[in-house]
Amino acid sequence: MKKIKYSEITPEKIYNNRRSFVKSIGFGASSLAISSLPFLNNAIGNEQNNLTSYKDITTYNNYYEFGTSKGDPYKNSKNFKTKPWEISIEGEVEKPIKISMDEISKSFTSEERIYRLRCVEGWSMVIPWMGFSLSKLLSKVNPTSKAKFVAFESVYDPEQMKGQRYPVLNWPYKEGLRIDEAMHPLTTVVTGLYNKELPNQNGAPLRIFIPWKYGFKSAKAIVKIKLIEKMPTSSWMWASPREYGFYSNVNPNVDHPRWSQATERIIGEGIWAPRVKTLMFNGYGDEVANLYTGMDLKKYF
Amino acid sequence: MKKYYKPSIFFLSLIPFVLIFYKIIFNKLGPEPVKEITHFTGEWTLLFIIFTLSMSPLKKITKLNIWISFRRMLGLFIFFYATLHMLTYVVIDYRLDFQSISKDILTKKFIFVGFAAWVLLLPLALTSSRKALFYLKDKWKKLHRLIYVIAILGVTHFIWLVKKDLTEPLIYTVIILILLLFRFKFRRIKN
């Protein structure tokens, strides 16, 4: 799948209006709201490219720092303090820096980037992120020739993040990319979504997003970016190395040891919508497949 | 008074079904409705396993025989919710795509044990009548001890599907193990 152009996608307003339009007919026509019947409120056909609603994007999250249920992050992150915020970029770089969130917002213009998110659990969304390429941020520090990998570290604050009071994962959350993956233009520093500030439950104030990898690779609430020579161990690799590899590229041909990755459910499409086939590299193969030429992706999963 | 016990339990046992039916009709299942139905029916299957396995310990503790008279109905509700659970997966989630389903059953261990548990429930549901009890005599009791195996398979199914946080499946496991140990211990004391 190609990058989805904004013009190809129904804007949120019209998208939402569609539902309220159906709803108004429903209320008018009978005492039973037609739109509340799940098999009627979904347009027929493939909606793989339709934007997921703001509500679903912001209430259905995997963010174990705020709890392991999908609704927990929305409930438990309301009072999370994201101001002030500082990010340290360090390691194999010529000019390590500590940069504040304000400075980042001033120095880099965020643009709308509509990407598909595929969770390792087998569901997907289409999200209109606001952000810019990570390569721009990294060019500020001049990585040295020893910088082969990039390690991301999320905030550790069990006072505010009650999920961190339990050893579900080894806190703080850690993720990593190979340097060429990190420098790829699709790898995005996210600062917002739906043209609004990034909500806390989606990783405020700053997260990364790598559209061709399973969602857990895209670390949230980042405080440290370290360029290093050796491959880092991510939190999920540490938790279960047999199940979660360093690359974690979306790949319908390599199953999770316990469940299939061949298909996915699209969030918000309702109960009668079929599963859709998962695409290699989540549909971004044209852009990123060349990063992995000659690699056995079954071995380097 | 006693004659109202069984019908009351019957209608109480239908409440989860009515609830999920309501949620389906009125679209109250949240962003991932199919998963919601699957989890809901799965959890109620495990709960009914727990209820069913609790009857004979309750009889022994309270020294009231009445508990045993609820056991068959509760057991049939295990089968009822397990079948809804299985059908959600086969019909709603995979839309009768038997190729994918059989591949899942053969290669994914959590689906294999779940499916095995449902298959093992079949002979128990089929021989739940008084007539079957009469014809099978001693064999009936042996056959219906399969429920212990089914209970273990059921919680294993839950443990294997969870991504990381094992709290919930472990609570079920502990309760079921206690209920199974109770039988083991009691039999030894009796001998």
Question: For residue A34, what pLDDT is reported?
Answer: 38
Q: Is A44 on the interface with B (CB under 8 A)?
A: no
Structural domain range at position A40: 6-292
What burial class does residue A118 get, using C-beta atoms within 10 Å of its C-beta: 0-12 exposed, 13-18 middle, 19+ buried?
A: buried
- Nearest-angstrom CA–CA distance, A108 and A293: 32
Structural domain includes residue A297: no
Q: Which of A38-42, A99-103, B63-67 ranks highest by mean pLDDT?
A: A99-103
Q: What is the ipTM of this complex?
A: 0.86
Report percent pLDDT > 70 for chain A: 84
Question: For residue A143, what pLDDT is reported?
Answer: 97
Structural domain includes residue A298: no
Q: Give B-chain residues touching A259 at CB under 8 angstroms.
A: 104, 108, 110, 161
Question: What does DSSP say about strands A222-228 and A86-91: parallel, antiparallel, or unpaired?
Answer: parallel
Q: Is A142 on the interface with B (CB under 8 A)?
A: no
Q: Is A32 on the interface with B (CB under 8 A)?
A: no
Mean pLDDT across the stretch A271-285? 95
Asked if residue A257 lies in contact with residue A241, where contact means CB atoms within 8 angstroms, the answer is no
Provide the 3-class DSSP secondary structure of residue A101: helix
Q: Give A-chain residues touching B161 at CB under 8 angstroms.
A: 258-259
Mind telling me how many Å the CA of B157 is from chain A's nearest CA? 11
Q: In chain A, how many domains are there?
A: 1
> Mean pLDDT of all residues in chain A?
88
Structural domain includes residue A185: yes
Of B24, B93, B109, the CB nearest to A38: B24
Report percent pLDDT > 90 for chain A: 82
* pLDDT surpassing 50 at residue A25: no
Q: Which residues, in sequence order, are bridge partners of residue A128?
A: A114
- Nearest-angstrom CA–CA distance, A234 and B190: 54
- Provide the residue type at A28 as one letter: G
- Nearest-angstrom CA–CA distance, A151 and A233: 9
**The pair of three-digit structure tokens given for residue A142, joined into one six-digit string:** 């001049």
* pLDDT surpassing 50 at residue A23: no
CB-based contact A271 B92, cutoff 8 Å: yes
Helix or strand run (H / E) with residue A276: strand A276-277
**The pair of three-digit structure tokens given for residue A82, joined into one six-digit string:** 């994201």
Of B31, B107, B164, the CB nearest to A60: B31
Mind telling me how many Å the CA of A95 is from chain B's nearest CA? 39
Longest CA–CA separation in chain A, Å: 69
DSSP string of A1-57? -PPPPGGGS--HHHHHHHHHHHHHHHHHH-SS-GGGSTTTSS-SS--TTSPPPHHHH
* pLDDT surpassing 90 at residue A16: no
Low-confidence ranges of chain B (pLDDT < 70): 186-191
Which CATH number do you get for residue A200?
Answer: 3.90.420.10
Q: Which of B75, B163, B156, B173 is nearest to B117 (CA)?
A: B156
Domain assignments of chain B as residue spans, ordered by start = 2-190
CB-based contact A259 B95, cutoff 8 Å: no
Tell me the Ramachandran region of residue A263: left when phi exceeds 0, alpha when psi lies from -120 to 50, beta otherwise. Answer: beta
Q: Which residues, in sequence order, are bridge partners of residue A115?
A: A127
Assign A237 a pLDDT band (cuts: 50, 70, 90). very high
- Nearest-angstrom CA–CA distance, A233 and A245: 9
Structural domain includes residue A49: yes
CB-based contact A262 B30, cutoff 8 Å: no
* pLDDT surpassing 50 at residue A80: yes
